Amino acid sequence: MDYSIVKEKRLEYGISQIKLAKYCGLSPATISSWELGKTIPTASQLDSITIALKELIYSIENKGLNIKKKKIQHSKNTEKKLPSKIRTVEEYNILLNHIKTKPTDYKRTLSNLYKNFLSEKADFAPKAISLFSGCGGLDLGFAAAGFNIVGHIEIEPSAREIYEVNFKESKLLGVDVCDVTDRDIDDWKKQFGNIDILIGGPPCQGFSLAGKRNPDDIRNQLYKYYVKLVTAIRPRVFVMENVRLLTSMKTSDGALFIDNIVEEFRTAGYSIAINEINAQDYGVPQSRERVIIIGIRTDINTNNFVFPCPTYLKENIQLTLEENIKCHRTFRDATEDLQNIESGETSSDPLHWSIVHPDHVIEWLKNVPEGCSAHENEDPKLRPSSGFNTTYKRIVWDEPCSTISTNFSMISGCRNVHPSATRSLTIREATRAQSFPDEFVFVGKWGDIRKAIGNAVPPILAKVIADSIMEQLF
């Protein structure tokens, strides 16, 4: 369904942007931006909001839902008044200090990562500049490994706000990599001296299955500006992260994007190592497939970079290779200490609360076992009218959860249903699955926070890569 049809149906049934946004777990500003033509929804967002709209219309026509009421009561649970956003670091820390949860092994790992991130960097620490920094997942891992993040570039104001309250020492060098000039780069060199490493992942929506995979998507050309900066700054090494499907994406003339990217970096004087990895194999409790491109300046190292071997494997594999090989971390490992909440309920954690889901969706899902979808219900009346077997699907407690996307709070999205509670995932569950420490501060509007989390590189994965670079090159 084209979004113009969504808008047409929304107006026909008198559904406000605010109510549609609340129903979908999006922000009204996001829907407004789509309807004004300022932004375009991804394929997965459009699919989710189409499903949600159809359900809402179904409730109006068949369940007697009065859409004119000031508040739509979707479930028997009452939703406590929530702030529209977290405004300051101090506000977040005050709220966080009230949380009393048990110190699980996974939380200790995250807390240790955060302590390493906060530790004072040595005078000789390699200096890094972050491109497309987002809220700082990649940077958090590199800083925890001992790199000194001296500057960053990020175009999204809400992500930049989260980044800057956590990385107070990093200087904002610009908001758009396309606008960086030679004079800017000269100023950086005077201010910082030699820059040892550039890190960053250009926006991946143009390459992802969640998008349209349009070869002419302008975001697919942003790597050229990464090449330009690498060529001008001449760091010892650079790290570029993107979705795994980048390796199969073709240009409009039929060539592979990855081949073009590699060739341009090689022409700039870098030997290239590429690896397709899954974050779950490195201690992240989430299946998240990515491609990592590492370039080393040829005048300092002509050997291929050796990627770190996986240290976490599936439980049913014989763990006989090395003693330090462990089983995959699971969703239970990540969230077992969090309070049990249902649709519309809150907890003492400022990021652990659930949006309100409609009664009929709860009815579809309440008896669905983990790992299954409401589309698999025996009773046809308890099956959603549209969607796929990956939608309205529960994740599994004792496995890594599915990829955390920007729409993880949409219950109609892909594998977004909690293993036992009948609701979508909370922001805190998403930060844990992404391996962000609880101490990492998220400020801003809820929709912006979700977007930043879904777009981030898992800090644990980033630290594994950073540790390996530090060991081999510094």
77 residue type, one letter = N
Kindly list the catalytic residues.
Answer: 204
Question: Alpha-carbon distance 228 to 238, whole Å?
Answer: 12
Question: Alpha-carbon distance 20 to 61, whole Å?
Answer: 16
Q: What does the longest C-alpha to C-alpha distance in the chain come to?
A: 72
